[in-house]
Structure 1
Amino acid sequence: MTDSSISEWLAIAQAGQDKPPKKDIERVIAWVNDLVTERHIEALACDLLILDPERMSIAAMVAIYRTSVVLKNEIPSWYDFEWKLRAELSRRKRDDVMLDVGPESLDDDRVAMFEALALKLQSSPPKIDPKVLTATPLSRGAKVNQAFAEAWLSNLLEKIRLSIPAAEGILLRNDLPSGKEADASDLIGTYDVIYKDRLAGGPTDFKQFEQQILQTHATILKARRDKLPGRYRTFRVWVGDYDFVDPNKVRLTLQAGFEILTTITSPFARAIYVGFLITEVHPFMDGNGRVSRLMMNAELARASLPRIVLPENLWAGYMEGVRDISLHGNPEELAAILEIALAWSASVPWGNRKNVLKAIGEAKSTMRNVEKCEAWIAQYLT
């Protein structure tokens, strides 16, 4: 493969034509395969760094997308580039050219999983500490502090790393840190959904439920156009070897999952179920965890129960609990973790910011000491 061939390939990729001849697509595919075959991996990796999908022709994007099976095994940076490529194809409303998308259908295995989960939660609802039921309504200041803690911790769990002083500056003084504008926007969006009770009205049908999750996603990720805020993903995603719902099955599977939700009566059980429903379907490119926790807390808030703020020392158990349902259908671990989180959240003195930060710090301090963590947890066991 010569330098001139690489230049030709780049020229086609950046041509900006939406309908170039079919032979151009074939040439791009052939050149990319040749680059890989002849071990010009470094050259291709460099090319990917300078290619901008927003300036690429549809033909070039399709061609490169169709070489992904080869490229993802050869070039570590391919995943980041493919993410941008898919997002740009979706933005141009050309989801049809992505091979992962087909006619809408239902994920029958997931629906069976949701039915079994709902049956277990309905027959053995999670426990609620009696002290939680007597928690007093929050003052305006307490609500600000709780919304801050919930938004900050939920984003931190998803690797949005903002210090507490930085987060306070963003939310309380509109002081946006340079270079972290998108992270700041995520935090503001999450806080906005919580503090303004944007999910206060419970959905009576799937259309309303769908509007809520799409609008919540759009609010959180509005600064990340490449993540398609307020839109379902159009490609397959997985963690390790665990595959989430196919993109063409997302909407109908969510709809079936919502119908199953209506069979659950316990507010806490509904909260656990709806949070898992969203994480398991994984309807978005990013932000699934944050949307799931907001929808979980919306179920609690509608029943006048305290919101769950998930401290850092419970994160590992929370994620293991979600996985245990996915792999084995067992909700007991997740329910136990959320019972503790709910009891802790109800005990935090939200009216005093200094004491709120102290409670968050005390929870974090137990993370690397099993005995300290067990003693901390014992305070909140029913």
Structure 2
Amino acid sequence: MTQNSDRDTAEVLFSVEDDAHARALRRLVGTGALRRIYGGVYTRNLDSPVEAVVLRNWAAIVSHLLPGAVLAYRSALEHRPVDGVLHVRRGRTRRKLELPGLTIEVFSGASAKPLLEPPTPDLPHRNIYMPSEARGFLENMGTARGAAARVLPQEDIEARLDKILTIRGDLKLNDLRDQARAIADKLDMASGSRRLDGLIGALLGTHEEKKLRSKLALARAAGKPYDPDRLELFDVLHAALADAVFAHPADPATRGTALENFAFFEGYFSNFIEGTTFEVEEAEQIVFDGTIIPNRSEDSHDILGTFRAASTTPWRNRPASTADDFLDWLKSVNALVMQARPDKGPGQWKEKRNMAGNTLFVLPEQVPATLAEGFERIRSLADPVARALMTMFVISEVHPFQDGNGRSARLAMNCVLSEAGVCRIIVPTVYREDYLLPLQRLTNDRDAAPYIRSMTRIHDWTSRFDYGQPRHDVQNQLGRCHAFKEDLKNYRLIFPENAINGG
């Protein structure tokens, strides 16, 4: 054997019967240096389960055993074995190969050869072929006896088509349909092409909706598309919130001075965390004296609008009871907060997809239905704190407006708490990363625990102040707890009972 060749380093090795290399491999099996997997297929990995070795090397193995094969049925779209089974098309004989951890089902017929010419050639991979996207969908349109066990469920097919429509647009989905029509006769899949044509037409609104089965596709056909990935994320948080037990600290600021002081600091910090920064004294002049800070008229109105929403019914304490009311409530609170920024479309759903960091939020056309689906999950939670945290995350994750999403989300959260007579939540400047990073963790890793833990802690902290004392005294107490600190490396949140005069 040649030193440093692929076969000297690969995990699986192959031979042809009766050549010198084959005899050498058989001798190595006899000495225990190799394991035989299948006729002519060996591995030098003596420790891992042989099933695991086969699955991670399936493409190399099939390339050796069945050169020229084309992936078929579910494997044609998944591009891998599914549940330990790989479907391929090759030759004139239908057969089945049984390997440890992998069954290879071989189908014959008119479609057993790869398509190598335009418009949609299959793609070579090692010594086998990955079907074009159009062929992959045709492979999964089969309805003959036994096909149901080999093809993707129609709901999954509809979800894949909806994703193409969402990301690439209707022209690309029409292109897919045209490509499938162009190759259907060559593959003897004309009936599958007609079925695919019907599904795509129903999604585009040109065919009857009754062809569709999935909730997602039916919503799309009805003009109410939603983001299915976000709904899965909402369900992760919903399950965690439903199992959690929350404290219900009483609202310490239901009227008078306490209400105004709380609403002031809630609005001040909610704007600061979004980059609308003022000195506390400037913010007081805006809210309580009607001052408009020179050259900062829009920022001044942001502070004032958030204060009004935090202190005034219906935005303070009258949350929506239906999905339609929820959408209207959101529009109205965003319009109030962003009223001085007409260029941001206050109270209007965004027209372009927005993002924060690496997170892409929901597409504009998916905003209303995704929010409505989120509301159904909010409404189903019994605990008011759970409903509040669910509310905040749904709005934050959809990001339905061009601007003011964070402020609108926190106001909606606090509205749910106020209706229940529970303390609202203030997110101070020093807690910014403790608030934002768990949200990112939930979005990216689907781990709800840090978010719930972070919000529970700041809820407890918020409830421990006397908001009925003079506003300057509230400010001093918040200051001793590092609430206003922007240096997050050197300062952390302190609870009032642990604060030392002077910080």
**Deviation per residue, 1:38-67 (Å, 9 max, x gap):** xxxxxxxxxxxxxxxxxxxxxxxxxxxxxx
Correspondent of 1:148 among 239, 264, 267:
264
Is 2:477 the partner of 1:359? Answer: yes
Hey, what's the Cα distance between the residues in 1 that align with 2:372 and 2:325?
Answer: 11
Amino acid at match of 1:331: A
**Which has the larger share of strand?**
2
Partners of 2:270 and 2:493 lie apart in 1 by 23
Question: Which residue among 404, 411, 428 is the counterpart of 1:294?
Answer: 411
Question: Which residue is equivalent to 1:165?
Answer: 281
- Structure 2 CA distance for aligned equivalents of residues 192 and 369 of structure 1: 29
Separation (CA, whole Å) in 2 of partners of 1:330 and 1:266: 20
Which whole-Å deviations, capped at 9, do the CAs of 1:229-252 have from their partners, x for residues lacking one? 010001111223321111111111
Matched, 1:316 2:433: yes
**Residue 453 of structure 2 aligns to which amino acid in structure 1?**
A
Structure with the higher fraction of residues in helix conformation? 1
Give the letter aligned to residue 357 of structure 2. G
Letter in 2 for 1:120: A
1:257 alignment counterpart: 374
- Larger relative contact order (CA 8 Å, sep ≥ 6): 1
Tell me, yes or no, if structure 1 residue 281 matches structure 2 residue 408. Answer: no
Q: Aligned with 1:122: secondary structure? A: helix
Distance 1:228 1:374 in 2: 35
Aligned equivalent of 2:467: 350
Structure of larger gyration radius: 2
Q: 1:234 aligns with which of 338, 348, 351?
A: 351
SS in structure 1 at match of 2:284: helix
Deviations, residues 193-247 of structure 1 (Å, cap 9, x unaligned): 1111322223121111111000000001011011000100011112233211111
Deviation at 1:318, TM superposition (A): 0.3
List runs of 5+ in structure 1 lacking aligned partners.
1-101
Name the amino acid aligned to 1:264: L
* 1:116 pairs with one of 226, 230, 236: 236
Give, in whole Å, the separation in 1 of the partners of 2:267 and 2:484: 20
Secondary structure of the corresponding residue to residue 463 of structure 2: helix
Of 311-320 and 328-337, more deviation after overlay is shown by 328-337
Any conservation in 1 of the 2:430–2:491 contact (CA below 8 Å)?
no
Secondary structure at the residue paired with 1:161? coil
Paired residues of 1:236 and 1:245 also in contact (CA < 8 A): yes
Q: CA deviation at 1:180?
A: 0.6
Taking a change above 3 Å as real, the CA distance of residues 378 and 113 of structure 1, as seen in their structure-2 partners, is farther
CA deviation vs aligned residue, 1:95-128 (integer Å, no higher than 9, x gap): xxxxxxx964111111111122111110124x32
Asked if the contact 1:202/1:302 (under 8 Å) is kept, the reply is yes
Give distance in 2, aligned partners of 1:374 and 1:167. Answer: 22
Unaligned runs of 5+ in 2: 1-220
3-state SS of 2:483 partner = helix
Instruction: Determine the C-alpha separation between the residues in 2 that align with 1:172 and 1:141.
Output: 12
1:330 alignment counterpart: 447
Describe the shift of the 1:119–1:170 C-alpha distance in structure 2 as closer, same or farther (beyond 3 A).
same
2:322 alignment partner in structure 1: 205
Say if 2:302 and 2:337, in contact at 8 Å, map to a contact too.
yes
Preserved contact between residue 464 and residue 496 of structure 2 (Cα < 8 Å): no
Further displaced range: 365-374 or 116-125: 365-374
Percent identity over paired residues: 26
Structure 1 CA distance for aligned equivalents of residues 291 and 486 of structure 2: 31
1:107 and 2:107 aligned: no
TM-score normalised according to structure 2 size = 0.52
- Pairwise CA distance, 1:313: 1.8
Contact conserved, 1:317 with 1:333, CA < 8 A, in 2?
no
Name the aligned partner's letter for residue 279 of structure 2: S
1:114/1:277 contact within 8 Å kept: yes
